[in-house]
Amino acid sequence: MPWNRPSGSGDDGTRGPWHRPDPPDGGGGGKPPDLEELLRRSQDRLRRYLPGGGRGFTTGSLIIIVLAIVVVWLFSGIYFVGAREQGVVLRFGKFVARTAPGPNYHLPWPIETVETPEVTKQNQINIGYGQVADQNGQTSNQDIPEESLMLTGDENIIDIEFTVLWQIKDIFQWAFDVRNGEENVRNVAEAAMREVIGKSNFQYAQTEGRTKIEQDTKELMQKILDEYRSGVRIAQVQLQRADPPQDVLGAFRDVQAARADKERAINEANTYRNQVVPRAKGEAASIVQRAEGYKATTVARARGDAQRFDQVYEQYNKAKDITAERLYLETIEEVLRNTTKVMVEKNGTATGVLPYLPLPDLRQATPPPAPPRQAPAPGPTQGQGGTR
């Protein structure tokens, strides 16, 4: 008994092995499908959509159309990558290759797809402010307080606006390792700036610390983004503004003015001190030096006088009369050395004194000669009507 016949009696030969009736076309009896019949049915269906009922349409025409569709489908895999782009080939959604700029080929859709993002483009993100267009089409910056207000290390609030310039450095990480890459860059930029500002004083962040803050924020952002495998390279961080909040701007300016006055007063006091203290130190040193000189002179003179007295006393003990007379003569010479008058007795005891005329003293006492007198102007003569 064949395998496709039931074992029960009364079988009319119309049921299969699972008691199901065979198909009317004999397909259930293991007969293979007729390809010509399938091709004929396909032609009939295609004629319905062709103009004129597809008259003159043959099997060869159908094969040509199918081949043309296949060729067009194969050529759809050609694509071009721009000079600033990089191609990413996906096979059923999975990354398979990177392609360089220029013409390239991938298996047509739906097998493979390609994405060509710009990798050399420098993107910009503004933190703390946004650009808003007015009715005239002109753009202006609008402050975003929830992003710009930050707490400094000395517990002050500072209003900061900055810009981040970034590029894609790894297209695979950018496309497949992270989601919402641009939003991640924004969040990382704000978090990194808050951390750096939290370690800096208000005055430092507003004045000389701007360059250091920019560099520290850039390095911290790059470190975090590399840990996230975001495929982003931070090109630059630019601080646009670092000011106190608008609500306390007037009071802050008053404090700055008072601080400037304080610094000016301190500088003036230091200038006066630098002028007075060195002068006082110089005068004190001069007085000390003069006192030291007077001390040395007085001591030396006293020692010299003592030694001279000792020597004179020794000579006096040896010859009292001669020494006494010599002392008398030296004393009289010392007394009369600067005297300009000499008194001479009129008796005969001064016969050996020769009087003289002190010419140098007379020259010094002589008054200077008077200027020459001018001749009087000539008067009128008799011939001119004058009288003599």
3 in any annotated domain: no
Same domain, 222 and 276: no
Residue 375 lies in a domain: no
315 is in which domain, residue-wise?
252-327
Distances (CA, A) of 224 to 104, 188, 200: 35, 7, 20
Q: Are residues 133 and 235 in the same domain?
A: yes
Q: Are residues 168 and 279 in the same domain?
A: no
Q: Looking at the structure, tell me whether residues 178 and 193 fall in a common domain.
A: yes
In a domain, 374, yes or no: no
Residue 227 resides in a domain:
yes
Residues 229, 128 share a domain: yes
In a domain, 284, yes or no: yes
* No. of helices (H) and no. of strands (E), the chain: 10, 11
pLDDT tens, position by position, 251-268: 878 887 898 899 999 999
Closest C-alpha among 29, 25, 50, 28 to residue 38: 25
Tell whether 103 and 143 lie within a shared domain.
no
CATH number at residue 176: 3.30.479.30
**67/84 same-domain check:** no
Rounded Cα distance, 14 and 11, in Å = 7
- In this structure, is residue 71 part of a structural domain? yes
CA atoms within a 13 Å half-sphere pointing along the CA-CB vector of 290: 6
Of 243, 272, 288, the one marking the end of a domain is 243
Lowest-pLDDT range of 12-26, 34-48, 76-90, 316-330: 12-26
Encode pLDDT of 128-166 as tens digits: 888 776 677 677 778 888 888 999 988 888 999 999 999
The DSSP symbol for 118 reads: B
pLDDT in tens, 17-76: 434 444 444 444 445 556 667 666 766 666 665 555 555 556 666 677 778 777 787 777
Number of domains comprising the chain: 4
Query: Going by DSSP bridges, is the β-strand pair 232-243/157-168 parallel, antiparallel, or unpaired?
Result: antiparallel
349: in domain: no
Task: Compute the C-alpha angle 92/94/95, nearest 5°.
Answer: 130
Instruction: Give a yes or no: residue 89 inside a domain.
Output: yes
**Is 94 in the same domain as 133?**
no
CA distance 184 to 173: 13
